[in-house]
Each structure stands twice: as structure tokens, then as C-alpha cells.
Structure 1
Amino acid sequence: MSLGPGAEVWQAATVATLTTDVLVHPVETLITRTQSPGYTTQYKALDGSHRRVFFRGLYQGFGPTVVAGVPASAAFFTAYEGINAALRDGAYVPAALVPVLGSAAGDAVACAIVCPAEVLKQNAQVSRAEDLRPGTRSHMAAVMGRFARRPTRLWTGYTALVAAHLPGTCLMFYLYELFKGALLRNRGDRESVARQVEASAVSAGLAGGLAACLFVPVDVVKTRMRLAAGGVSDGTAGRGARSRAGPLAVARGILRTEGVPGLFRGFTLTCVAAAVGSGLHLGCYEGGKMYFRASGGEDADAAEFAG
């Protein structure tokens, strides 16, 4: 019984993460700005239209996303594939629970890796030119300077991150495997690489979009906690009171000041971005995994023949 996924897992995860981050990061920046407490005052004009600043610097915070995203994705899929392989070999776990348990374990590890990067990224995404210190041009450098004295704040919102990711990830991968299995059964040609990639992308897009729609309020709370850790309050970066409020207190504060709509800021954009990002990520991952696995097999055959 083989429990350890091969090198093709982290290779495919790396390719999928880089591809997805490059294409989806600008949309995530817009989502963060929409969910920020200063959205109506900082990014919207009196006539309801968006100010130009809303669409500027869409790649702010991209560095930490890549630096942490690649190892986090590799860790997630290594745990996911390994646990799935182990559980499928036994008869003591229902088949429907296998992707749920695998994704839960992978997400717990990935969240610990990605949380600091997400905090830095989201604070950089709402950083403005007037927030930069004299002689500092980089928004990321300014944000990192604010966290230098209290690096533990980089894990602010970890509880909300897990709360947002774990149930959503488990639901997504349960639906993903369910949809993918149904598509492959109905369309046939299960061994075709193109069919596998197509089924993975479509299934992940549907599953990711549906899961994201259910957890938008948690995503808003998570964003507010991270921005508060970086000094963003009432749309002012670096001068607002730093909040140590927990997820429930933050949610109550949003309801008190903005009502129920405040918890659903960026709903449409979040769901669309999740659907596109999930489909792209898992489509690239499955395609990359099959490609690298085939390449590894060819190399092994060549080495055996040469020996």
C-alpha cells in the first residue's frame, strides 16, 4: 500500500497556484477593497460610482501571496492525496467522507502557512499613497514595517480563516468529487487527459462557487480582522485603533453599523471569483499532475532501459 503521493503532486500544485494567483489576484484585491470598512468613503463617489483609486494597484500584496501560496498549496495537496490514498485502501471510512477528511487535514496545514501572507496582502491591497512614510514607495514595505514590532499579529484572523476555509473547503471537495465522478461516468472516456481536465475544471468551478456563496459573511469578518490588525479602521490605514475583537464581536459590529448587507459585501464578485479560481486551480492541478506523472514514468522507463 503506497501512502505517499509522488513529486507530481507538489509540481502540479506549484503550477496551478502560480497560474491562478496571477490571474485571480486583481479580482481578490477588488473584493478586499469592497469588504473593507472604508469602502463607501474611500472607494465610492457621491454618485455611487467607483473612484479611480478602486482600480489602481490591483497587484498590491502579490508577493506574499506567491511566497506563501506555493508551499501552502503543495502542503494541502500532499496531505489531501496522501490521506485519500490511505482511506480508500481501507473499508472503515465511507467513500463520501474520504474527500472531506482529506481536505480538512490539508486545509488545517495550509491555513497556518498562508495566514501571515494573507494578512500582509490584504493590508497592502487597501494601503494608499498618503499612508507611505517619507522615502518609502512600496506599499508592501510600509505594511511589513507596521507588523515588524508585533509579528504575532500576522496570524490575526487565523480562527476566522479556518472557520471560513475548513467548512467551505470540505464542502467544496465533497461536491467536487461528486460532480467530477458524475461527469466522467456520463461522458465516458475516463482515461482521456482532456476529459479529466475538463471534468475537474467544471466540477471545481461549480463546487467552489456554491461553497463560496454560503461563506461570504465569514469571509467579510475575516477580512475586517486582518485589516484591523494592520491598523485599518474606518478606511484609515495606520491611524485607526487596532482591534483585538474576535470573530463574533466583529460580526456584531458590522451588523450594528452596516446591517445585514454589510456581511454580504462583494457577494457576487466573491462567488464568481471563487468559481473561476477553483475551476482554474483544480483544472491546472489535475492536468499538471497527469503530465508530470507521465513525464516521470517516461524518465523511469528510460533509466531502466539504459541500465
Structure 2
Amino acid sequence: MNTNILLAGAIAAVSVDLLVYPLDTLKTRLQSPDYQKIYYDASRNSINRKLLFRGLYQGAGSIILITIPSSGAFFTTYEGTKLLLAQANPILNGYSSPLIPQPIIHSAASALAELVSCFILTPAEVLKQNAQMIRWRAGSSYSKLPTTFRQPATLQALQQFRRPTQLWRGYSALVARNLPFTALQFPMFEHLKESIRSYKKSHGTLTMATSETYVITAISAGSAGSVAAVLTTPVDVVKTRIMLAASVEISREQTKKETDKERSGCQSAKVMASEKGVKKGGLAVARDIFQENGLKGLFRGGLLRAVWTALGSGLYLAAYDSARVWLGDRPE
């Protein structure tokens, strides 16, 4: 295990998560099935911006803590798998290029890395998205609320789960989103990065300085990430619905208690409230979204996700590559 890769992944994860987290919260709220009911004022035909933009860092603690080991696991697996596949890739007699194209190797390495990373990340992702939907009623006084409701949003979200296994609900949906995303992003990212480096090298302007590495990687990753984000938005919407539904696997008695709590001044978003609806698979959820809102519903939040991913991926992978250079693990 390469310590520099782990450190580089951790540095990238913490620095970027704090910066782009508010955009992720907005995306979750836009994709929520309760968006129209909570954040849209039908009487004025406008978005309730005050409520939509409130508490944008809710649930940030859990995701920032868990992305350190998950990102470390991802990059360690990705770099290790990429190296092994490249070494095992034969070059046919009479040909200068290897048998398996580099984009396929990059896709395979990123796919395996995502399977490992998603298993670590899923519980925090479930908590994060449910915490992002915790909301206070307009005009409620924080000082007058019961002590229970003065807890951080992450702890309030955690209290909605009866069993630890519920925190892994949505793993398959997270994998279903991240696998095609990384399979699209990383080949494009690696190709763009090498193309820019080759262009600068041919013109004698390639220095391999840390600042240059950061800029090249940021442009390459941001461009590739935004394209992949738009194409995988429908899967992301389904993933959001499934993870928000995980906290609704509660009994009728618990539902009544939640109602009583809401009357005290705090509301927790409830999605797919019936027991039957909670256990729907990804295809069933996608079908429901399409029937309710059409194709537009499946791409809700797509533009915001493209911007967020371009910014996040650009800064994240740029910080990772730059950290590797700074730590002495200069890429070839």
C-alpha cells in the first residue's frame, strides 16, 4: 500500500468536500420527492429560496470523515489495479500498441476501485442525504426547542434508523451510479490529461511543476466529470430517492412519534412513506419518477450536478495529483 497515495487521497477529499458540499445539499433537495411540497411555493409559483438554502452544511461531518478512508481505498485500488493490468497487458508481435486499449484498463481499474470505495461510503452517504433533508419550520425558535432537536442534523438522521443494516440500503444504487460515472469519467480524464501534456511537451512548455500539474488535471477532470455527470443523472436521482427512503422503514408508532415531534417545531422529510413503497427497487423507482414527472424528472438537478461535479472533480483530482507530486510520488 502506497502511503503517498493514501495521503494524497485524504488531502484531496477533505479540501474539496468542504468547498462543494453546499452544492451537493442543493442537488439532494432538488431531487427529493418532497421538493414540490417543501421548497416550492405554489401560490407564488416560485421557489422558497430561504428554506432551500438553509442549513447547506447539514450532515457534512459524517461524509467528510468517511471520505478520507473511502478515497484512500479508491485511489489505492485504482492505481494498483491500473499498474497490474498495464504490466499484464501483452503487446502483440508486429504491433506497437498493447492488446487491451488503455481506456478499457482505466475503466476496469476505476470500476473495481468504486466497488471497494462505495462499500465504505454508503452508510455516510445515506446519513448525509437524510441529514440534508432535516429542516426547521420557518419562525421556530431554536432556544425553545426540546434538547433532542438541538442535536446536529447527522445525529437526528441517525436516530431514524432502527437497524445498522439500513445504513447500507442504497449500496447497489450508489454502485449503479458510480460505476458508469467513473467508467465514463476516468478514460476521458486520462486521455485529456495525457493529450494536454503531450501538446505542451511538443511545444517545449511542459515543466511538471506542482502548479502546472494542478491546472492540467483540473481542466481534464472537470471537463470529463461534467459530461459523465449529465449522462448519469437519472441514476443519481434514483439513488437519492432510495437513500432518502431508507429512514422511512419505521413502524406506525414511530411515525406517530415523528408527527408529534414535528409539532414541536422540527420536521424531518419523509419520502415514500408506505412500507410497500420503501422497498421498491431501482427500476420501479425510476418508473415512478418517469410517470410522475416525465423525462424531466429523471434529469432533475442535472445542470447543478454537472457544475458541482466539474468543480468537485476538477479540484479533487487536481488536489490528488498535485499532492502526489508534492509528496514525491511524481506520475510518469
- The CA deviation at 1:192 is 3.1
| Contact preservation (8 Å) 1:61, 1:124 | yes
Worse-superposed segment, 106-115 or 185-194 = 185-194
The corresponding residue for 1:128 is 135
Deviations 1:166-204 (A, max 9, x none): 011111001000100100011121633332221111100
The corresponding residue for 1:259 is 294
Counterpart AA for 2:231: L
The corresponding residue for 2:252 is none
The corresponding residue for 1:140 is 154
Query: Matches of 1:37 and 1:245 in 2, distance apart?
Result: 14
Calculate the aligned-residue CA RMSD, in Å. Answer: 2.2
Aligned counterpart in structure 2 of residue 78 of structure 1, from 70, 76, 79: 76
Aligned counterpart in structure 1 of residue 235 of structure 2, from 210, 218, 221: 218
The corresponding residue for 1:268 is 303
Deviations 1:112-138 (A, max 9, x none): 0001100000000011236x9942212
1:241 and 2:274 matched: yes
Instruction: Summarize the Cα distance change of 1:190–1:83 in structure 2 as closer, same or farther, 3 Å threshold.
Output: farther
The corresponding residue for 1:289 is 324
1:11 and 2:30 matched: no
Task: Provide TM-score, normalisation by structure 2.
Answer: 0.82
1:153 and 2:166 matched: yes
The corresponding residue for 1:166 is 179
- The CA deviation at 1:164 is 0.4
Query: Matches of 2:236 and 2:89 in 1, distance apart?
Result: 36
Query: Matches of 2:227 and 2:154 in 1, distance apart?
Result: 32
SS class of match (2:41): coil
- The CA deviation at 1:145 is 0.8
SS class of match (1:230): helix
Counterpart AA for 2:181: G
Query: Matches of 2:177 and 2:8 in 1, distance apart?
Result: 25
Task: Provide TM-score, normalisation by structure 1.
Answer: 0.88
Instruction: Summarize the Cα distance change of 1:241–1:129 in structure 2 as closer, same or farther, 3 Å threshold.
Output: farther
SS class of match (2:4): helix
Worse-superposed segment, 162-171 or 235-244 = 235-244
SS class of match (1:111): helix
Query: Matches of 2:103 and 2:293 in 1, distance apart?
Result: 39
Q: How many residues align?
A: 289
- Equivalence map 1:67-106=2 (5 Å): 67-92=65-90, 93-106=100-113
Deviations 1:85-116 (A, max 9, x none): 22222333432322111111111100000011
Query: Matches of 2:207 and 2:227 in 1, distance apart?
Result: 25
Aligned counterpart in structure 2 of residue 119 of structure 1, from 115, 118, 126: 126
Structure 2, gaps ≥5 residues long = 91-99, 250-254, 256-266
SS class of match (1:185): helix
Query: Matches of 2:238 and 2:194 in 1, distance apart?
Result: 34
The corresponding residue for 2:246 is 229
SS class of match (2:147): coil
SS class of match (1:146): coil
The corresponding residue for 1:39 is 35
Counterpart AA for 1:171: L
| Contact preservation (8 Å) 1:184, 1:196 | no
Instruction: Summarize the Cα distance change of 1:118–1:294 in structure 2 as closer, same or farther, 3 Å threshold.
Output: closer
